[in-house]
Structure 1
Amino acid sequence: MSPLTKSLMLISADGTTIYADASGDPSRPAIVFIHGVSLSSVVWNDIFNDTKWTDLFYLVRYDTRGHGRSGMPTSPSAWESKRLAEDFDAVVEGFSLSKPFVLGWSLGATHIVDILSHHPGNEEYLSGAIHLTGVPFMGPGISKAGTQFALGCLPSLNQTDDVEKFQDASRRFVKGCSKYASFELQSLCLGNFVTQPRAITNFVCTREQDATEFFKAGENGFLPLLAIACTDDLIVDGRSAARALGPWKNLKIVDIEGADHMPWLSHSEALRNLIADWVKGVLSS
């Protein structure tokens, strides 16, 4: 039986609907999972349906605006940084979370910049952050962290003139995420790509951020950050992404040998133990 315990359709500050659900015991340390570009929270199914994970954490995930089951606003104002932070706030409030950890995967890690910009200097809002093969920030952060393979897919994913180019790039990107992904998961991911309006894909990839408060959190040392790189990742160069973080005082960088862009599929135990040990250390410090 799935350990899914709660699902909600939340309303963000600007009225955009945000789908979110949770697995596990709310008394355990909470981790909010944020997926990557043009996908949705279905990428986390293998984690959220695994009692080895829910025995350790209260797992919360949501479809970011413009993705999956959430609302898909296409006005430029809907893609200001504060709007994405407000979506996260709606999830925190909807599930009554107190100082959760936030895990951003791939381009989803950039949302941590939005959250910190909206809650500057607030040491009581988050317990810590996890970059799971994550792009640290928008703009130059994408070029520093993205591989040539991933960056090569983006033009065809953003254009609207050639359906075959879009289909080919979607398939290549999804297959590039993991050779361990099941046909079912690949199909769900491709469905996410197809149902997302191209205008939103463009907003997601080109939106602007101010990373000032993000870097302040690192320089001041109040936000612990775990940066996880995977040696066989075709999408994100985790080591380059970690170097882009600069002088982050409370930073731990770990490589998972042999893992690709979806390490929870092939290296679930190693990833779970790594996160569990780090979370335990943060909470006990």
Structure 2
Amino acid sequence: MVDLPLSGEQILISVDGTKIWAESTGNPSKPALIFIHGLSCSALGFDRQFTDQGLLESFHLIRYEMRGHGRSGQPLEVEAYQSLRYAEDFKTVCDAYGVDKPFLVGWSLGGVIAADVLNAYGPAALSGIIYCGGGMPHLHYMAATTKPSLLPLVAAITSERADDMAAAASTFVDSCTAQPLPYAVKLQWMGAFVAQARAARVHSIERAQDASAEWERRARDVPVLVVQGTEDQHRNWEGTRSLIERVYADVEVYMLDGVGHTPHLEAAEETNHAIGAWGRKVIARASQ
């Protein structure tokens, strides 16, 4: 079900009735890039991709906010955060914009949506995966891919104490970049954090995903690009790289010196160029 015209900004209704906010720009006749944000963030984090002329000319850009986040619905029941629900949200967005076999761009926690999609619909659902800014490949391996220094902060942002969460919001946002954000941007990001119900945050990171050999079999031949900052305070890069290269057969890595957990903001021009060049290469190879 689509509440608004099939272009620009929309409120979509997913299979279970949850509202999903989405927006598109660029050339609808071109291959699609679907951008998915990280934990307790919003799609506003991709503003610098949505104004990049190179990406706009070569791709149909789509972003949406995960259930439990931002302008999308925030169901409180744990059942609403099953893996299939996330895959259905992704397909709802694809169907609304008439997209077939898009590239999935996952920032941090947004990366795990690729596993949901592959489990539900198989490898034919994606042209490729771009793990951007500590993109997490699978929730089952969260411990192996998260820096130990971040774990106390994870506990704080899921605390039941309002004062703990308020302080954690500022620390969490600060940890997302190597250099401090402009204050107005920091407040915007903190707003996305505090607008999220605690239950939605907890369910988003504690939900289960299928980690069987079947998932790895389906994922094996999907092309992957990793855009990663050397100063990422969240992601254990060596553990993450080991997992990605074990699961996927075709992996390219683009490292950014001095960049933290948010390369699409901290080094937007380089990140956009890397995404565009790799995407065009994968498309050309598939058409041969």
Same fold (TM over 0.5): yes
CA contact (8 A) 1:117 1:211 kept: no
Q: Hey, what does 2:225 align to over in structure 1?
A: 226
1:196-252: CA deviation from partner (whole Å, max 9, x where unpaired): 111111101110000334311343x2x111122210111223332121121421222
Aligned pairs, how many? 275
Gap change, CA 1:44 and 1:238, over 3 Å in 2? same
Verify the 8 A CA contact 1:134 1:238 in the aligned structure 2.
Answer: no
Q: Deviations over 1:115-135 (max 9, x none)?
A: 111113x42x21111111211
Q: Report the alpha carbon displacement of residue 75 of structure 1 after superposing the two structures with TM.
A: 1.1
The Cα shift of 1:50 comes to 3.1
SS of match in other structure, 1:55: helix
Matches within 5 A, 1:59-74: 59-74=61-76
- How big is the shift at 1:268? 1.8
Give the CA deviation at 1:181.
Answer: 3.0
Instruction: List runs of 5+ in structure 1 lacking aligned partners.
Output: none
| Mapping of residues 134-283 of structure 1, within 5 Å | 134-139=135-140, 141-160=141-160, 162-178=161-177, 179=179, 181-212=181-212, 213-219=214-220, 221=221, 223-245=222-244, 246-283=246-283
Is contact 2:30-2:58 (8 Å) kept?
A: yes
Q: 102, 106, 109: which one pairs with 2:108?
A: 106
Cα contact 1:108–1:135 (8 A) shared by 2: yes
Cα displacement string for residues 16-50 of structure 1 (whole angstroms, at most 9, x for unaligned residues): 00000012111222100010011111111222133
**Aligned AA (1:97):** V
Residue 236 of structure 1 aligns to which amino acid in structure 2? R
Q: What is the correspondence of 1:3-22 to structure 2 with a 5 Å cutoff?
A: 6-22=8-24
- Mapped partners of 2:267, 2:276: distance in 1: 14
Contact kept in structure 2, 1:230 and 1:238, CA below 8 Å: no
Q: What are the superposed Cα offsets for residues 67-114 of structure 1, whole Å, 9 maximum, x if unpaired?
A: 000011111211110001000000000111121100111011011110
CA distance in 2, matches of 1:217, 1:253: 21
C-alpha distance in 1 between matches for 2:61 and 2:44: 13
Q: Secondary structure at the match of 1:71?
A: coil
1:31 to 33, 40, 46: 33
Letter matched to residue 136 of structure 1: P
Q: Residues 43 and 185 of structure 1 are in contact (CA less than 8 Å); yes or no, is this contact kept in structure 2? A: no
Mapped partners of 1:209, 1:158: distance in 2:
20
Distance in 2 between residues matched to 1:278 and 1:239, nearest whole Å: 22
Root mean square deviation, CA, Å: 1.6
Map of 1:38-57 to 2, 5 A cutoff? 38-57=40-59
Partners of 1:229 and 1:239 within 8 A in 2: no
How far off its partner does 1:153 sit?
A: 0.7
Q: Does the Cα contact within 8 Å between 2:45 and 2:265 map onto a contact in 1?
A: no
Q: Give 1:57 shift.
A: 2.0
Gaps in structure 2 of 5+ consecutive residues: 1-6
Contact 1:229 1:237 in 2 (8 A): no
Tell me which stretches of 4 or more aligned residues in structure 1 moved more than 6 Å: none
Deviation at 1:164, TM superposition (A): 2.1
Question: 1:279 Cα shift?
Answer: 0.9
Report the AA paired with residue 210 of structure 1. Answer: D
Query: What is the letter of the counterpart of residue 217 of structure 2?
Result: K
Q: Which amino acid aligns with 1:216?
A: R
Give the 3 Å change call, closer, same or farther, for CA 281–49 of structure 1 in structure 2. closer
**2:128 and 2:36 mapped to 1: Cα distance?**
14
8 Å contact 1:35–1:107 — kept in the other structure?
A: yes
In 1, are the aligned partners of 2:175 and 2:234 still within 8 Å (CA)?
yes
The percentage of aligned residue pairs carrying the same residue is 31
Quote the residue 1:95 is aligned against.
97
